[in-house]
Structure 1
C-alpha cells in the first residue's frame, strides 16, 4: 500500500492535506434558474443546491451562497478549507484562489460561473439581471435587514443584499427588491473523493 496507509490520489499528488498545501478544490455553481427572495427559506435553497448537484453526479455537499438569520455566509465552508482550497467553476477553472479571497475584496478571475446544467450565467439570457443574491455585508456577515425575511418573501417593498456580477466581486453591496429574480450561487462545502 501507500506510505502511511492513506489513499494516494494522483490528481493531488503526495503533498495533499499537508499544512500549507492546497486543499481539495471546492466548486461554485449557480442554480439552474433565477430566484426571487421567496425561496421558502434557507433550507429549501440548500436543498435545491444539493439536488441539482446530485442530478449531474457531483458528490460533494453543496449549500446556498446566502447569509440567513442563523448563518453568516463566510462560515459555510469549514475553517480548515477556507485558506487553502481553491474555488473552481464547473469546468474546474479557478474562480478564486481561496474561500477567504471572496471576503477580502477578492476579484473573480476572468472565467465564467456556470449553472449546474452548464449555462454561463454571465451571458445566458436565463438570468436577465446579472445580480447574485447574498444577504451579507462585504465581509460575509449576515445583513440583518437585507435577506428578504430569511429568504421567504418576494414583496417588491422588501429588499435583499445582492452583488452586480460585472463588479467582479460576489459581495458587492446592491440593495435589490425581493421581487427580482436573481442568480443564486451554491458552494461545495465538503469534498468527497470519488474512490
Structure 2
C-alpha cells in the first residue's frame, strides 16, 4: 500500500482520566476501542502505554511509523511521524496545539482533567519502564508508581513518576490507518 496525502494517525484522549488500574493493557485498549466506536471512528485505537507485553514505540504497525503525521481529532499536526515522538527528546510537541478527548473536549483546558499529566510507562525513547507502569496497569496502589508526562511542558514522554492512585490522562493512538476500506455499512 503506498502513501497518499490524506493518511494520518490520530492521537485522542479517553473521555475521563484514569487511575493506574486499567485492567491491564487489554483493558486500556478496550476503552480506546469502545470510545472510538461510540463516536463513529472505525479504525483501530490502542492505548498510548508501555506494558510488560509491549514497548510504546512499537504499538503502531511498522508500515505506518515513519511517513504519517500524528494529528489531533481535528487534524492539527502534533508530530511529523510516530517515530519522531521517540527520538529521545521526550516527544516534544507544541502544547498550544490541543489534544482532544473522543467526545471532543480539549484536555489541555477542560476541568475534567485537573492535572495535565498523561500516563505512558516509558522511557524517552518509548521503551517500557518495568518499575513505573503500575504493575502492568493493574493497580491503583499509592505505593506503586507509573511514568507520566506533564503536557504543559510540551513533552509527551516527559519523565515524571507519580503514584498509581492518581487520575491522569490516558491517550489512544490510531493503530492502523484504514481509510475507506472498513467503513460501516448502515
What TM-score comes out, normalization by structure 1 length? Answer: 0.87
Is structure 2 residue 130 aligned with structure 1 residue 144? Answer: yes
3-state SS in 1 of match to 2:121? coil
Is structure 2 residue 82 aligned with structure 1 residue 108? Answer: no
Structure 2: how far apart are the matches of 1:168 and 1:17?
32
- Per-residue deviation, 1:86: 0.4
Which digits, 9 at most, give the CA deviation of each residue in 1:95-130, with x for residues without a partner?
Answer: 111001111224213310000000000000001110
Structure 1: how far apart are the matches of 2:97 and 2:65?
21
Structure 1: how far apart are the matches of 2:13 and 2:108?
11
| Residue aligning to 2:70 | 87
3-state SS in 2 of match to 1:187? strand
Structure 2: how far apart are the matches of 1:112 and 1:194?
26
| Residue aligning to 2:147 | 161
Structure 2: how far apart are the matches of 1:174 and 1:141?
15
- Per-residue deviation, 1:138: 0.8
- Per-residue deviation, 1:67: 0.3
1:40-189 maps to which residues of 2 (within 5 A)? 40-104=23-87, 105=89, 106-109=91-94, 110-189=96-175
Segments of structure 2 that go 5 or more residues without pairing to the other structure are 182-186
Aligned residues: 178
- CA RMSD of the aligned region, Å? 1.4
- Per-residue deviation, 1:194: 2.3
What TM-score comes out, normalization by structure 2 length? Answer: 0.92
